[in-house]
Amino acid sequence: MPDQQEWIRRSLRTPGILIFGLILSPCGWVLDLVATVAPNWRTLHNLPNSASGFMVLQGIWDICTTTSATSSVFDCGQEDSAYSNHQIIEIAQGLMVASLVVTLVGLAVAIPGVRCWKNTPNWTLAGVGGLLIFCSGVMTIIPIAWYTHILETVTTVPPDVRIEVGYCIILGYIGGIMEVLAGFVMFIGICRCCGGKNRGEERVERAVPRVNRQREPPRRRDVPSLSRPRSEASRVAYSKDDDDVSFPRAKSAVPSVNTMVSSKPYDVDL
């Protein structure tokens, strides 16, 4: 069977998308918190029957007054029923508080899913946390954008009054966008994209285990023996008169015959 491919992580390093989301979302939460509690969604200048440099700072929870000469001194707790009872103020209060709570819940869900001390994070849990953070950023941008759109019509003001955007609007935009980006980046970890680089994974070949089969007995092989049987020719003794030899043989000694001795037997020999 052909080898299969699987995705593995070669290090315990936390994926970059989770690091990006866990850093960006708390920063956005801090900016949203400042935009929620600070009384500076818009600033009114040149109010009639007021001193030169007098300003009114209006937020969604409080209204303060100050002067350009003493910009560090604020007189808060001012009453403006027409402004406080406007529809956008009530909606902004609810959405901004809900955004802060949802961001904390999203972080509480995403942090256990990161599990940087293990090889593979829980991508489902981290993705759900990213989705909650994304929703919290949207809940911040909605009242900020709506308030900016109707900035000059929140309450009826004299035509000579100059209206400026407060720093809370700017901080709210930045914080909401940071949370949207952080939540979106963490959420895409649920699906593998960019060749697995978003998760820090690599595709490797994995051998498929084969089915155990009954091993066949080893084949018997005939190995030639070094001890060869002797042939019949080798068993026959060489004759003395065999001249078919490839090496010279020593000549046998011929017994000498004494011709002077008579061959007649004597009595001593008997």
Higher-confidence position of 142 and 225: 142
Q: What is the CA radius of gyration of the chain?
A: 53
pTM of the model: 0.66
Domain ranges (residues) in the chain: 4-206
3-state secondary structure of 163: strand
Architecture of domain 4-206: Up-down Bundle (1.20)
DSSP output for 171-233: HHHHHHHHHHHHHHHHHGGGS--GGGTTTT-EEEEEPPPPPP-PPPPPPP-PPPPS-PPPPHH
pLDDT of residue 124: 83
pLDDT digits (tens, 9 = 90+) for 47-106: 877 777 788 888 888 888 888 766 667 788 788 888 888 888 999 999 999 999 999 999
In the chain, what percentage of residues exceed pLDDT 70?
Answer: 63
Higher-confidence position of 251 and 14: 14
